[in-house]
Amino acid sequence: MMSENVAVIGVGHSKFGTRKDVNIAELCWESMKPAFESANLEPKDIEFFVVSNAGMWSSEAAVPALMAEYADLAPKGSMRVEAACASGSAAVRVGYTAVKSGMADIVLVLGVEKMQESPNPNVIELIGRFGSYFWEFENFGLTFPAYYALHGTAYMMKYGATEEDYAKVAVKNHYYGAKNPYAQFQREIDVETVMKSPYVAWPFKLFDCSPITDGSACIILASEEKVKELGIDEKIWILGQGVGTGTANLSRREEFSSLASATYAAEQAYKMAGIDIDDPTKYLDGANVHDCFTAPEIIAYEDLRFCKRGEGYKLIREEQTYIGGKIPVNVDGGLKAKGHPIGATGVSQAVEAYKQLLQKAEPGRQADINKGRWLAHNVGGTGHYSYVTIYGLEKR
């Protein structure tokens, strides 16, 4: 039977960073164990599980089968999902769809990446495949920082943003990352530190870029009927999700100061969740956006309509995306400071929504929860895939 609504009833999160102390199965279990504990469930209760894993840089490819063995999930059904850096949200969508359709009542969604198994040059080359590889990477040598640098420079030229504005995004996200025990970088920085760091792809310097990360995150989804049956008190609901796709080749795009796929996904998500697209900040307590570099966070403010076009950099200048501002953004450190294990990122955003809405975030980074809704914006490639998900304390 189809489920009217789908809830997140358990979450878990590993420490992000360079995790050479564990193998990939142990890294997965680091987030799966607390997810089971918070949902008060055991592996035998899972009816279907989805694993988000790009996995090109790590030795293990059949991660669902590996975890079926390691976590005693066999012979339950599984699926591996890949959508570049948006893989985690794609996995959430698969899990949500399985529950919503009535195919399963309890679904586990796991995101994991062990990127440090490969040397940095290999990782950089492999990430370059998240686009039109033979045209852009082979012909022009575009690396992933360069892909987004095209957008960062376009935004600067069109609206007058500066490198210092981008630096302020890094400062904010490190400020909150320092308060997140699961973050890869747990130290604050200042604008001067960002500005003095070496260039990677102008206008991005080292501190404008998210790191190469190992990590896992896990959520457990349940149908509305199962929530009632289990008497689950602590849960959040998936209120809406939008998905957009961009062209592989950037030369086919008309606009570089925005991601059309993200704008499209946001419109879908807001409509599904019953949020006024003209002023969504009135409905949201906060957001996680895909800050693989600093400029994309500012662009996301506009694609998500947190402000008017061309005014995103003003939000960070005026500290309006800190707690206490117009809308807190990336108060877990974001990809920039928390880290960006490709397959785990979207699931990590779901974990953060759960923690924030249930007021379980660590001291100093807990947002004020008045409206009961949190947004997650997860982008694969350079807008090649975009997912926007709305989570809420109350069901639709």
Beta bridge partners of 392: 237, 373
Beta bridge partners of 10: 220
Active site residue 151: no
Asked if residues 380 and 81 have their Cβ atoms less than 8 Å apart, the reply is: no
137: tokens are 């990477």
Distances (CA, A) of 161 to 116, 195, 289: 34, 15, 19
DSSP code string of 180-193 = -TT-S------HHH
* Pairing state between β 286-288 and 204-205: unpaired
Catalytic residue among 151, 174, 290, 340: 340
**Catalytic status, residue 292:** no
- Burial class of 1 by CB neighbour count within 10 A (0 to 12, 13 to 18, 19+): exposed
DSSP 75: T
What CA–CA distance (Å, rounded) separates 46 from 68?
A: 11
- Catalytic residue, from 85, 209, 218, 307: name it: 85
Identify any residues that bridge with 391 across adjacent strands, giving them in sequence order: 238, 374
Q: Give one DSSP letter per residue of 276-317, joined into a string.
A: -TT-GGGT-SEEE---SBHHHHHHHHHHTTSS-TT-HHHHHH
**CB atoms inside a 10 Å sphere around CB 19:** 24
Q: Is 65 exposed, middle or buried (0-12, 13-18, 19+ CB in 10 A)?
A: middle
Residue 261: name the closest of 290, 294, 288, 283 by CA: 290
Q: Return d(Cα 234, Cα 115) in angstroms, integer.
A: 33
Residues labelled catalytic: 85, 340
